[in-house]
Amino acid sequence: PDLILDLHGLKKEEAKHEVAALIHAAQKQHVYCVSIMHGKGTYTLKKAIPNWLIQHPAVLAFHQAPKEWGGQAAVLVLIDLPLHHAKY
């Protein structure tokens, strides 16, 4: 992942705002893959994040991160980048 968001210590509403900001930043910077570190804790964010991602039109796919990228404490997200029209 080219961008990593660490949500440790954030409340649910703060985390939701940060996830949206991350997706926006990824599109602006032409980044296809991002990582969201939600931690293990109470599973509040781990349960909420997939619901947020499903609703976001720029999210193509997401999956639990492999062990080297956080494993069960993180999720990798593929972002749909807007097409830029070439000038001829």
- Distance CA(3)–CA(45), nearest Å, equals 19
Per-residue pLDDT of 40-79, as tens digits, reads 877 889 899 999 999 999 999 999 999 999 999 999 999 9
Higher pLDDT, 20 or 86: 20
| Residue 9 burial (10 A CB sphere; 0-12, 13-18, 19+) | exposed
Buried b vs exposed e over 35-58: b needs ≥16 C-beta within 10 Å? Answer: bbbbbeeeeebbebbeebbeebeb
Secondary structure of residue 4 in the 3-state scheme: strand
**Is pLDDT at 24 greater than 50 in this prediction?**
yes
What are the boundaries of each domain within the chain? 3-79
Architecture of the structural domain at 3-79: 2-Layer Sandwich (3.30)
